[in-house]
Each structure stands twice: as C-alpha cells, then as structure tokens.
Amino acid sequence: MLKSLLGLAPKQEPDGSFSPSWLALKLGTSKVTDYERIAYAKYQGKRSKILVIFTEQKNMMMQNEKEFSTGNHPVEALVPMLHLRAAGFEFEIATLSGKPVVFEMWAMPSEDTEVMALYEELKPRFESPSPLQDAADQCMGETESYAAVFVPGGHGSMLGIPEHAQVGRVLRWAHENDLFTISLCHGPGAFLATALEGNEFLYRGYNMAVFPDSVDKQTPMLGYLPGPMPWQLEAQLTELGATIVNTKNDTTCCLDRRLITGASNLASNELGKLAASTLLEQLA
C-alpha cells in the first residue's frame, strides 16, 4: 500500500505481468528523445543492408516469479536506426521465429515526431518480420550486400536470443566477413550465443559497453523491475572474457575493431552517430 501511495509499485498489466511504476517511468522515460538530425554524406556502395534482430518475447520471469512486461526498448532501436537510415542504410528486420517484434510500449517517445514517423513507417515490417533462419540464409547468400548486424536493447533482448544457435551463426558470419556488429544496453546478451554448440566466445578480449548489473540490482527499489533479475548479463560477458568499459547507465559508447556498443538507452543517440559515421568511413 505504501509503495502504491509513493508511486513505487509496478503496474500490473491485463496478462498479469508488471510494467514500471509511475515514479520509474517519470525518472526513466521521456516523451521525446535527444535524437540529432545530421546531414550525413549518404552511403552509395553495395553494402547498404543491415540485419536487425529483435525480440519477439514480452514477459521476463524474475527471481520472485513475477513477470516483467518488456520487449525491445523503442528508443534503443529507433534512434540508432534513424541515424543509420540518414546515412544511407536500409534494414532487414527479423525475430527468432518470425513472430511480431515486441516493444516496451510504455517507453515509446510518443511526442518525438521523427522517432514516431520511423516507427509508423516500419510498423508493417515489425508486425511481419522475417524468421531469423530465413533472414540468415538470405544474408549469407548475398554477403556483399550487408554492412552490419544490429541487436537493439531492452530487457526483452535477453529472452531467447542469447540461447539461439541462429544468433550465434549470424554473429560469427558477420565477424568472419568483416561486417560490423552494433548493440547497446541489454542487447549484448546476444553475444553469448557465439559460445553455443562448443564454439569459442567470439568477443573474448573485446572492450564493450553494456547495461551494468549494479543498476539492474537497484531498479526494483524504484519499481522499474518487479523483482531481481533472473541472471546477470554483465557478469556472464565478463566471465567469458569481455572487458566492460562503463560502470553507469550513461551515454558511454565503445568501438573495438568492428564491434560498436552502447551502455544504455541514454546512449542511443551517441551510438547511432558513432555507428553511422564509422560505417560511412570504413565502407567508403
């Protein structure tokens, strides 16, 4: 009762899951983003496609058996995509089985005209994405047309994607063919898939920015999460040999070889700028 009065109680959804509390939404989301429109010199080469791997899962079971209503964070997906599109790149959208993309709709920046315009433009493709295996087969059949793989963040990106062999296959293909890999926040959970089926972890010795476990441990106190996380992303990446460069959920971005990462939703704009400018420079 006290948590409800203070705005700290997570909101229960019709399906029984919980979205963030009033206070958590006030502190952690915004109706507009910090997206900067930049006049890039548009890419004119053959490698104009980017494969974007989204989650199709909504609910994350926490340690206390309460479900968190999650998905992909819309800002973490759409703001980098705005930069990449402005730089001349196009997107192939996929989920693991071809089910619709799931977004954290409670984080949608509803008054940001450019973000919402891109969302509406791509909505039919979000509703009918390619199954990842089909998308992977297509990509690998025309490698010369692809520049990067992008895995947006949101806690939902930790559901299914890190345990999916096709994700590991795609990331190894990108690595072996000098494509860029782009991710932020909880999206780097996808990197764990490279160690499946007896394979060596692809990013051992790499620097990367990810959402800190320490912050995930604190957010239940504000009602952002309805309970403790089921597993710790930063700890698993570190155990496999990655070096995490940030300690806060901030604007930190990191470029290490052809891996481009960002720390949190706050890094979405900086990640988009870094990715767009790096691809333009390296693919020229």
Catalytic sites, residue numbers? 185
- Check: CB of residue 103 under 8 Å from CB of residue 109: no
Distance CA 217, CA 230 (A): 11
Could you tell me which of 118, 180, 169, 122 has the C-alpha nearest to residue 146? 180
Could you tell me which of 231, 93, 89 has the C-alpha nearest to residue 151? 93
Could you tell me which of 195, 215, 211, 221 has the C-alpha nearest to residue 244? 211
